C-alpha cells in the first residue's frame, strides 16, 4: 500500500470497532485497504490504504469517527520516519508560555497574556507583540527568569519524542520566539542538539525592556528549518516541524510532516496535520513507531 492512515487516542480509547468503521468509510469512498496494524494496543494503529488522496482519507475518517477524541494522520507510507525535528517551545515542548509566567513576577500577567493570545491567533504580528510584552517588563529583576522556569512544566512525551527520534538517527532543534534563557534549559532537559531563540537585554541584573536584535520571528523560524536541513543535508520531506502558533505556520508548511499542536481553530485549520487530543508521543506514532520502540 502506498499510503497510511494513523489513528491515535488516549490509552484504551481506540477500539477495533472504530478501526472497522474507518476502514469501511475509506472503502465506500473507493479506497482499497489492508488490515490495521497496532502500534500500541488500544491506543494507536496504522491503516494502510490506496486509491484515495490524503485529504479524502482524512475527511472520510473524521466523519466516520463522529467527533471522537482521536487524532488522525493521512500520509504517504514512504519516508515516514523523519531525520530532523524542529520544535517550538512555548505551549509545545512546555505546557505554557514562558513570557506569561515571567509576567507573573511583574504583576502584569493579564496584560501580557492578552498580547500573547493575539499573537498566537495571528491577530498581531509577532515582533510587535514581542516588543510590546518585553517593554512592560522593564526593570524586572533577572532572577525572575529562574523562578519562572521553575514554574514551567514539560508537555507529556517531550523527552520521549526527542530521545526516540535521536536514537534512530535524527537531529533535534528547539526553536522559539521566546528566549535563550529558557530554550537552553529545554535543550538540556529534553536532549535537543541545538536551541535557537531571542535574547533578552539585561543590564545591572535587571531587564531593560528590550530584545537584542534580530528578532527570531515567523520568517526566521522558517529560515532555521531551511538552514539546519541544508546543513545536515536532510531533504524537507524528511523534516518534522511542530508548533502551536501563527509564527510556526511557515515552518509547519515547509516540513514534510508539519503539525499544529493543540492550536486554536485559526491555526490548526491552516496546517496539513494537527494534534488536538494527544501528547507529544503522538508524533512518534505518526511516524510509524510502535510503543515498544519508544526510548524513555
Q: Which of the residues are catalytic?
A: 88, 90
Q: Is the peptide bond before 55 cis (omega within 30 degrees of 0)?
A: no
274 strand-pairing partners: 260
From the centroid of its chain, how far is CA 294? Answer: 18
User: Could you tell me if 22 and 61 are in contact, meaning their C-beta atoms sit under 8 angstroms apart?
Assistant: yes
Using CA of residue 287, residue 40, residue 192, residue 103, what is the dihedral sign?
A: positive
Whether 82 and 169 have beta carbons less than 8 Å apart is answered as no
Question: What CA–CA distances, in Å, run from 234 to 22, 79, 99, 183?
Answer: 34, 12, 32, 23
Contact call for residues 191 and 159 (beta carbons, < 8 A): yes
Per the CB < 8 A criterion, the answer to whether 29 and 60 are in contact is yes
Please list, in sequence order, all residues whose beta carbon lies within 8 angstroms of the beta carbon of residue 199, skipping any fewer than 6 positions away: 179, 180, 211, 212
The closest alpha carbon to 33, from 50, 46, 17, 21, belongs to 50
DSSP 8-class letter at 288: T
Amino acid at each position: 500500500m502506498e499510503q497510511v492512515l494513523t489513528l491515535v487516542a488516549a490509552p484504551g480509547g481506540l477500539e477495533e470497532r472504530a478501526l472497522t468503521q474507518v476502514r469501511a468509510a475509506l472503502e465506500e469512498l473507493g479506497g482499497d485497504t489492508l488490515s490495521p496494524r497496532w502500534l500500541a494496543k488500544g491506543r494507536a494503529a496504522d491503516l494502510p490504504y490506496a486509491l484515495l488522496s490524503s485529504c479524502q482519507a482524512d475527511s472520510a475518517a473524521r466523519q466516520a469517527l463522529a467527533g471522537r477524541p482521536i487524532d488522525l494522520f493521512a500520509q504517504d507510507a514512504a519516508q515516514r520516519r523523519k531525520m530532523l525535528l524542529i520544535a517550538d517551545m512555548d505551549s509545545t515542548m512546555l505546557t505554557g508560555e514562558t513570557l506569561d509566567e515571567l509576567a507573573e513576577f511583574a504583576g502584569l500577567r493579564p496584560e501580557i497574556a492578552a498580547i500573547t493570545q493575539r499573537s498566537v491567533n495571528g491577530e498581531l504580528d509577532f515582533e510587535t507583540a514581542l516588543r510590546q510584552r518585553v517593554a512592560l517588563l522593564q526593570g524586572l529583576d533577572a532572577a525572575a527568569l529562574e523562578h519562572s522556569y521553575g514554574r514551567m512544566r514539560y508537555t507529556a512525551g517531550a523527552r520521549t519524542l526527542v530521545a526516540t527520534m535521536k536514537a534512530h538517527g535524527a537531529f533535534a532543534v528547539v526553536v522559539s520566539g521566546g528566549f535563550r534563557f529558557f530554550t537552553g534549559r529545554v535543550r538540556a532537559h529534553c536532549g535537543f542538539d541545538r536551541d535557537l531563540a531571542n535574547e533578552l537585554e539585561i543590564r545591572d541584573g535587571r531587564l531593560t525592556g528590550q530584545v537584542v536584535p534580530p528578532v527570531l520571528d515567523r520568517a526566521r523560524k522558517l529560515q532555521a528549518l531551511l538552514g539546519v536541513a541544508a546543513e545536515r543535508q536532510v531533504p524537507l520531506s524528511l523534516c518534522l516541524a511542530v508548533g502551536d502558533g501563527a509564527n510556526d505556520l511557515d515552518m509547519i508548511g515547509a516540513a514534510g510532516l508539519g503539525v499544529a499542536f493543540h492550536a486554536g481553530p485559526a491555526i490548526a485549520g491552516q496546517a496539513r496535520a494537527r494534534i488536538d487530543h494527544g501528547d507529544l508521543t503522538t508524533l512518534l506514532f505518526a511516524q510509524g513507531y510502535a510503543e515498544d520502540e519508544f526510548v524513555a
